[in-house]
Amino acid sequence: MQVSQAVQGEDGVDAALVAMATQLNLDLLGGMGFETPAATPNDLVIGVTADDDAALGRALARVETALATRPAEAAGAGAVAPPRTVGSAARRDGATIAFVSTPGPYAFADAMDALQHGLHVVVFSDNVPVEQEVRLKQEARARGLLVLGPDCGTAVVGGVGFGFANVVRPGPVGLVAASGTGAQQLMCLLSGAGVGISHCLGVGGRDLSAPVGGASTLAALDLLADDDATEVVVVVSKPPAPEVADAVRERAEKLGKPVVLALLGPGRPDLTAVAETVVAAAGAQWRPPRFWPAAPAAGPYPSIRGLYAGGTLCEEARLLVEAELGPGAHTFVDFGDDTLTRGRPHPMIDNSLRTERLLAEARDPSCGVVLLDVVLGHGAHPDPAAELAPAIVRARNVAGARGRDLAVVVPLIGTADDPQDLEEQARALRDAGASVHLSNAAAARAAIALVRGGDE
């Protein structure tokens, strides 16, 4: 993906694809106008469309240079060969945590190797079968270890971020998160109120499902109970299985530390309300999240479309909208769902699917408001506003040409210390015509107000 982006940045290059020959990538190659080759996922495909032969030559030279680059250790005659397995790396380096990000069908073997060599495991990989997740967590429990994931998008352990991680200060709050962007929202809201994090243990989005039974959540609670740096514990999840939620509540009541449950569901507090509760429990002063309003517009706004990169943020917005406006008329899509990330980058890295859908919504007369989340931090797109702001301008112009106004409301999840520059991102998105909120719940309520005909 990095090579593709670098090549596409060459002058005169219209599009570039340098990728393994998965079915999705072959389809993308066909969409670029090439005849689909007979290839397997073990093959590399390269497709470049350019304005002229000179641009094509520069692009292919860029590809060749990138692919010819070797790791630094290959440069010296006496260099030590890199380890070929997780277990051999653990023996060589004395590690305590393994980070697994291999494709889902292969992640189980690497994660099990790590557990059998005494390592806690962060499984960033998605599309791991649930049966394998259960088996990994059984193995971890037998060995007194912890599995974070699969599909652990966010974790912070002792100040070290794994996956998509915002820059947060150290502090007294420990999170157990069956949710990636839900954890990021909470950490960012707490950071905005001056409250830091001891650890954020992302247990995977399925951990509180009935098949998995909260295995890693319960183990993480026990670890945080024994952690001197953690004074307040928060458990955040998409709607859990009722029997698993009961087990978590029972364990929380016996933990010996204050525990705040942020288990999303109808009638339950939203994440911003939870953050306010946690700030008070940590003995700090709550600061309402900032927002940057868009210029007033006329409307009307018949319905809401949620085009989300974050699954928990998507679910939170859906719950709030349906509680106020009823179900049926409004559509919410989690573009980070496993079914939409198979063979392609997560939408927190690559916004192309969402920008295409945004333009489609601009042409749809039944769409009045679009909720479009932007998540900052390490691992995320280095400048999401550079892609999304022009797409917002174009979508609003397309709707305007059809005699309607399209309101875009952006939940911006980030901290002042994130590398993308929170203020700059907010201003760029606001200048493109979007209203911007650091609270996803506030953004959803602003969208609701627009549909109702009020002022957001």
Residue 151 lies in a domain: yes
Please say whether the beta carbons of 204 and 451 come within 8 A.
no
- Same domain (yes/no): 391, 423: yes
Q: Is 115 left (phi over 0), alpha (psi -120 to 50) or beta?
A: alpha
Q: What is the CATH number of the domain that holds 106?
A: 3.40.50.261
Containing 391, the helix (H) or strand (E) segment is helix 384-401
- Same domain (yes/no): 273, 298: no
How many structural domains does the chain have? 3
Q: Which residues contact 13 (CB under 8 A, 6 or more apart)?
A: 7, 48, 49, 50, 51, 55, 56, 58, 59
Residue 79 lies in a domain: no
Query: Strand, helix or coil at 53?
Result: helix
- Same domain (yes/no): 242, 298: no
- Same domain (yes/no): 172, 133: yes
Tens-level pLDDT at each residue, the chain (456 residues): 678 878 878 889 888 889 888 776 887 788 788 998 988 877 899 999 999 999 999 999 998 888 887 655 444 555 666 787 887 887 787 789 999 998 888 899 999 999 999 999 999 998 899 999 999 999 999 999 999 999 999 999 988 999 999 999 999 999 999 999 999 999 999 999 999 999 999 999 999 999 999 999 999 999 999 999 999 999 999 999 999 999 999 999 999 999 999 999 999 999 999 999 999 999 999 999 999 999 887 778 999 999 999 999 999 999 999 999 999 899 999 999 888 877 778 899 999 999 999 999 999 999 999 999 999 999 999 999 999 999 999 999 999 999 999 999 999 999 999 999 999 999 999 999 999 999 999 999 999 999 998 655
Phi, psi of 157 (to 5 degrees): -120, 110
- Same domain (yes/no): 364, 239: no
Integer Cα distance of 196 and 297 in angstroms: 38
pLDDT tens-digit series, residues 171-214: 999 999 999 999 999 999 999 999 999 999 999 999 999 999 99
Integer Cα distance of 338 and 315 in angstroms: 15
Residue 133 lies in a domain: yes
pLDDT tens-digit series, residues 41-98: 778 999 999 999 999 999 999 988 888 876 554 445 556 667 878 878 877 877 899 9
Coarse DSSP helix, strand, coil percentages of the chain, rounded to the nearest 5 percent: 40, 20, 40
Residue given tokens 């499984």 in the structure block: 123
Range of the domain at 243: 86-281
Residue 7 lies in a domain: yes
Residue 322 lies in a domain: yes
Prediction pTM value: 0.84
Which of 198, 202, 160, 212 lies closest to 181, judged by CA? Answer: 202
- Same domain (yes/no): 36, 56: yes
- Same domain (yes/no): 94, 217: yes
- Same domain (yes/no): 176, 247: yes
Residue 272 lies in a domain: yes
Tokens of 158: 């002792």
Residue 75 lies in a domain: no
What pLDDT does residue 416 have?
A: 97
What pLDDT does residue 95 have?
A: 85
Containing 81, the helix (H) or strand (E) segment is none
Last residue of a domain, one of 254, 281, 308: 281
Residue 195 lies in a domain: yes
Which of 199, 115, 194, 105 lies closest to 154, judged by CA? Answer: 199
- Same domain (yes/no): 94, 205: yes
